[in-house]
Structure 1
């Protein structure tokens, strides 16, 4: 994960290192509208609680794909996105549908996300709301890199499988993303 953050920092510094002027962060300087698709890699941490007490936690790396559409309203950007994340070493997928609301700051766009997540694998299928924050930076007009943090809380997991309630699963996911815009 550290290597990925260093790579993102190097990409962000690339115009300054090349002797070019650093792009302005003035609002409204770029078009964020249109379709996009890409890949992501990340790190997920989880905690399984029973009636408020954590008894199992862990973490793993993730990878996945995303696709969506955004509309640029000048200073504001609204859109929707779907993604799928696969966990390393496991048989589970996290599929999400998200609404995104961002601010057009030229070549940089910070945003908020809210949506629904579906976790499935190893005989368990659960749904939960999710929310988070992120930011994208335009390397070129057609290629962006970014980072996104999301939080998910699955309540009463395993109830259908075991008949016991009170087990809650919290997931935190940080993804580094690369997207191509059409």
Structure 2
């Protein structure tokens, strides 16, 4: 019986020692908890229309001089400056367009414009109104006038915009008659 007692006591010591190690944990740890990265949110670029720009445009125009009328293509260049006040943009632009229009036997050779702009900053789009001084040069003589219209510029990539502009033009006394015209133009600009 002493032998059985010794065997039971020895077994109890071994089981108790093993159980203590099991409850204490082991020297090696299991795999670490995975690290979950925070999602990356897309960066929304704040628009800023402030700065100088230059560009070129091509379009068409419908012109009337007295009872005569004519239409044709116009091409031009422009340079300007805009200042962004947050939601609103103010600016100015100088523009020259050459025309391919004959009105009642008189050729409209070109129009020079100096315009003020006021617009709304809609992010990558700028919607604006414009008005200013204009000078028309034709084979019947030159004449002073004004121009007014609306436009839209859209930023297709950093510093590059495409746009469209509609303008009403009116000039007094070119060869004894007034000249009016409606022009629409597609524009490409570089901003810096």
Specify the TM-score bucket, using the shorter chain as the normaliser.
Answer: 0.7 to 0.9
RMSD of Structure 2 on Structure 1 (CA) = 1.7
Aligned match of 1:174 in 157, 167, 184? Answer: 184
Q: Distance in 2 between matches of 1:172 and 1:128?
A: 13
Aligned match of 1:66 in 78, 82, 88? Answer: 78
CA deviation after TM superposition for structure 1 residue 58, in Å: 1.1
Aligned match of 2:97 in 78, 85, 92? Answer: 85
Q: Counterpart in 1 of 2:64?
A: 47
Q: Distance in 2 between matches of 1:169 and 1:67?
A: 25
Q: Distance in 2 between matches of 1:101 and 1:95?
A: 20
CA deviation after TM superposition for structure 1 residue 88, in Å: 2.4
Q: Equivalent residues in 2 for 1:1-182 (5 A)?
A: 29-49=46-66, 55-88=67-100, 90=107, 92-159=109-176, 167-182=177-192
Query: After the TM superposition, which parts of structure 1 deviate over 3 Å for at least 4 consecutive aligned residues?
Result: none
Q: Distance in 1 between matches of 2:151 and 2:59?
A: 13
Larger Rg: 2
Q: Distance in 1 between matches of 2:47 and 2:186?
A: 22
Cα contact 1:133–1:149 (8 A) shared by 2: yes
Q: Distance in 2 between matches of 1:110 and 1:82?
A: 18
Q: Larger relative contact order (C-alpha < 8 A, sep ≥ 6)?
A: 1
CA deviation after TM superposition for structure 1 residue 121, in Å: 2.9
Secondary structure in 1 aligned to 2:173? coil
Q: Which runs of 5+ in 2 are unaligned?
A: 1-43, 102-106
Q: Distance in 2 between matches of 1:47 and 1:123?
A: 14
Q: Distance in 1 between matches of 2:179 and 2:131?
A: 18
What do the CA deviations read for 1:133-178 (whole angstroms, capped 9, x no partner)?
000000012000000000011123213xxxxxxx221111101000
Q: Distance in 2 between matches of 1:67 and 1:59?
A: 25
TM-score between the two structures when normalised by the length of structure 1:
0.75
Count of residue correspondences = 144
Secondary structure in 1 aligned to 2:174? coil
Cα contact 1:29–1:104 (8 A) shared by 2: no
Q: Distance in 1 between matches of 2:174 and 2:111?
A: 14
